[in-house]
Amino acid sequence: REALAVTAQLCGPELERYGRCVAASPGSWHQDCHQLSLSVTACASNHPLVRRIRRDCSDSFGAFERCLRERPRSTAECGPHVSQFLLCAQNVTQSATPGDTATAAPSATPRD
């Protein structure tokens, strides 16, 4: 959750544009929204916590992306892949050092 919140906080406009594009192109979003996806990735990759998630959870995220490519009209079938990636991301954020999250939410209190 925290990594998604970090991404949303740091890259909100990019995520918004990408989300609108995906919603507007259910059958071809993977092609139509590719540039917007790259802009979200570029924005998020500047944050240490997001970089750790990308590194540590690359296998589960790759499986999710493959599922979406193979089932562009049945993305609901990719739910288990999303769950696996989110679980991995949660594990990474829970083991994050304070420096990983400090720039994202300086007023946030540490979570147990």
Tell me if 31 is assigned to some domain. yes
Residue 21 lies in a domain: yes
**109 lies in a domain?**
no
Residue 12, domain member (yes or no) = yes
Is 102 domain-assigned? Answer: no
pLDDT, one tens digit per residue, over 14-39 is 888 988 998 898 888 889 999 998 99
Helix (H), strand (E), coil (C) string for the chain: CHHHHHHHHHHHHHHHHHHHHHHHCCCCHHHHCHHHHHHHHHHHCCCHHHHHHHHHCHHHHHHHHHHHHHCCCCHHHHHHHHHHHHHHHHHHHHCCCHHHHHCCCCCCCCCC
Which domain range does residue 39 map to? 1-96
Is residue 105 in a domain? no
Instruction: Give which of 24, 28, 20, 19 is closest to 72, Cα–Cα.
Output: 28
* Better pLDDT: 50 or 6: 50
Q: Considering its fold, how many domains does the chain have in total?
A: 1
Interatomic CA distance for residues 102 and 98, integer angstroms: 6
Q: Does residue 85 fall inside a structural domain?
A: yes
Assigned domain for 22 exists: yes
pTM beyond 0.75: the answer is: no
pLDDT in tens, 59-80: 988 898 888 888 877 778 888 8
